[in-house]
Amino acid sequence: MAAARRPSVIWLPFQECTGCTESITRSHSPSIEGMIFDMISLDYQETLMAAAGHQAEEARANAMKDNYGKYVLIVDGSIPLAQNGAYSCIGGRSNVDLLKEAAAGAAAIVAMGTCASFGGIPKANPNPTGAVSVADLIKDKPIVNVPGCPPIPVVMTGVLAHYLTFGSLPELDDKGRPKAFYGDTIHDRCYRRPFYDQGKFAKTFDDEGARMGWCLFELGCKGPVTHNACATVKWNGGTSWPVESGHGCIGCSEPDFWDGGGFYKAL
Ligand code: SF4
Ligand code: F3S
């Protein structure tokens, strides 16, 4: 009896820091190992695959040919358009060239992380490489944005599991993000919210208010304008998340957050 073939997944890395790959390896439910062994055929992922060089490129080409029209394309990193895309190439080919080729045969595209979803840090002012997002370039395929710098591990695998289970993308918000994970703001679900409502704010990171767990809004928390699941799903297997660790949200799952005032500036 012929073995059933698991759906092919091709992961292309562009202008990225590998944080998204690091993050997905921490997913516990489903885990990346569980997905690779039971749910998907991860046919190209430069960091995780054993192959390198020409062998890796051949695996990508074969996977695209054998699964044309059916594979899931994951992209992390933004795509540079300046200098004809010369700022980021793989095997001598520009990211934009590779993306257009792989997108043509994809059933759906997952833009993993804020760079692929919205441009991320490469697009930050003055955007020297002319970085753009996947959705800026590809208009004829279903695309789901899974932003975060990096995204939450179980959100990454959860979105993939949804697609593999139902054969369609989950319901998306106006920025292409799954509503199940990005439907509420951090502020909507933050456990410090009662202090915000009472007007109790930490003024410095080591004052009495900070020690009492008061709201971090006056220390720059971007929770009120940031859509993500950190306050409910948390990080590190549900251990904690930025606000619980004592620092405000810096808005990492929103477009242009690098220029949005979430970081400290030298005086
Ligand atoms: Fe809202 Fe941030 Fe205060 Fe939490 S710490 S209640 S997210 S402003
Ligand atoms: Fe990012 Fe804010 Fe969560 S900075 S990790 S969305 S708490």
DSSP 87-118: TSEETTEEHHHHHHHHHHTEEEEEEEHHHHHH
Residues 125-181 pLDDT 10s: 999 999 999 999 999 999 999 999 999 999 999 999 999 999 999 999 999 999 999
Structural tokens at position 150:
């990096």
Atom number, ligand 2, closest to the C-alpha of residue 222 = 2
Ligand positioned closest to the Cα atom of 190: 1
Directed axis angle between helix 53-66 and helix 95-104, to 10°? 30
CA pair distance 13, 60, nearest whole angstrom:
12
Question: In whole angstroms, what separates CA 217 from the centre of its chain?
Answer: 25
Contacts of 263 (CB under 8 A, 6+ apart): 250
pTM (predicted TM-score): 0.96
Residue closest to 77 by CA, chosen among 28, 47, 43, 111? 111
In this structure, which residue's CA is closest to atom 3 in ligand 2?
230
Cβ–ligand 1 distance for 190 under 6 Å, the answer: yes
CA pair distance 128, 5, nearest whole angstrom:
43
pLDDT of residue 58: 96
Cβ–ligand 1 distance for 193 under 6 Å, the answer: yes
CATH architecture classification, 186-259: Irregular (4.10)
DSSP conformation class of 47: T
The sign one gets for the Cα dihedral 120, 79, 40, 53 is negative
CATH homologous superfamily for the domain 8-181: NADH:ubiquinone oxidoreductase-like, 20kDa subunit (3.40.50.700)
CA pair distance 230, 152, nearest whole angstrom:
7
Residues 16-57 pLDDT 10s: 999 999 999 999 989 999 999 999 999 999 999 999 999 999
Q: Where exactly are the structural domains of the chain?
A: 8-181, 186-259
pLDDT of residue 262: 83
pLDDT of residue 264: 81
Burial class (CB in 10 A: 0-12, 13-18, 19+), 256: middle
- Does ipTM surpass 0.90 in this model? yes
CA of 119 to the centre of ligand 1 (A): 26
Q: In testing the pocket of ligand 2, which one of 114, 182, 186, 193 has its CB within 8 Å of the most ligand atoms?
A: 186
Inter-residue contact 229 to 152 (CB < 8 Å)? yes
Residues 37-48 pLDDT 10s: 999 999 999 999
